[in-house]
Amino acid sequence: MISVIVPVYNVEPYLKKCLDSIVNQTYTNLEILIIDDGSSDKSGAICDEYAATDSRIRVFHTENRGLSCARNLGLNNAAGEWIGFVDSDDWIEPDMYECLLSRALETGADVVECGHYREHDAKTITVIKQEQQMSGMDAVRALLNKKLINAVWNKLYKRRCFEDIRYPEGRVYEDIATTYRVFASSALVNTISSPKYHYRWRTDGLSETRHLENLEGCWISNIERYDYLKDRLDEDSYRDLLRTCAEAVARIWENYYSCNRKEKEALQEVIDETRTFTKQRIPLFGYPQWSLITRMRTVSIHFMNPLSFGTSYVLNNIYRAMRYGLRSPKK
């Protein structure tokens, strides 16, 4: 059985499409755990409607405690041998879990990742995966060089992967803090090329919204990952790890540029930590294997002055446009 965990918070316009895509899966041996995280719209009532007509659904209504708490509640109550996550504003292809489980059983993999669609208002971007089979630590390396992604939702996990792992509560960027640990604890990770998950890109999502908790959470998650992996990687993968830290710092500095005075004062400790980390571990011009835009972003975070923060702001917007093909992509 697969336990599908669906955190829900104020997604009334999108929720029925999401739940329809799950209950109509070609693989039917599902347990669907819907966590209503204190929604103030009609999301909770919609969850109850679906539970009344499908015995596979269990709904948990809680006060608003955040995405990580909702996922952890699902994990704590899951009975399936396999675990999947679906964000409640997204939807999945009808055969997603049949395909992922088939590959897992074929290969003995603990985790299987599929391609996905990024659904923007005006267009859909298709992200196709290269078919791969690798050890858990090789999957960590693939994560660092962007052949795999941090997101929790385009994967199927053997339940034992989460035996000693939970999502950090009260923090955004919880996937950065967790996915590498899941991979590292796995014997075998596999990918299928077909896109099976539809990821809705929204302008009001958590990870792209600028506020102090997000910026601090971004740094904490990245430095935790650095500390965990720094002595476990070969030289090339270690430089990939440093690149992810440099990208995180550049993003923090870009947002710091647009903070008001009070916010800047609250963030000063984080800014000091990121600059010290950068100056001690990352060369001024980065490493040759990094892209030119990443190396340019690295230069600006070696200095602490208005020009440096402004440069970070400009370069990070260029980076986003190059990566996503859109201005200020958010979910």
pTM assigned to the model: 0.90
Asked if 165 and 224 touch (Cβ cutoff 8 Å), the reply is no
Alpha helices, DSSP H, located in 29-66: 43-53
Lookup: tokens for 4: 């599908």
Q: Which residues contact 323 (CB under 8 A, 6 or more apart)?
A: none
**Average pLDDT score, the chain:** 91
Lookup: tokens for 88: 């409640």
Which of 316, 288, 287, 320 has the alpha carbon at shortest distance from 300?
316
pLDDT for the residue numbered 231: 96
Examine the pLDDT at 304 and tell me if it is beyond 70: yes
Measuring CA to CA, how many Å separate 238 from each of 95, 220, 227, 230, 299? 37, 18, 11, 6, 19
**Pairwise CA distance, residues 75 & 4, whole Å:** 9
What are 18-71's pLDDT values in tens digits? Answer: 999 999 999 999 999 999 999 999 999 999 999 999 999 999 999 999 999 999
- pLDDT mean over 291-319: 81
pLDDT for the residue numbered 327: 42
Lookup: tokens for 100: 């992922």
Which of 253, 256, 276 has the alpha carbon at shortest distance from 266?
256
CATH topology of domain 2-200: Spore Coat Polysaccharide Biosynthesis Protein SpsA; Chain A (3.90.550)
Q: Domain spans of the chain?
A: 2-200, 212-324
What are 178-201's pLDDT values in tens digits? Answer: 999 999 999 999 999 999 999 998
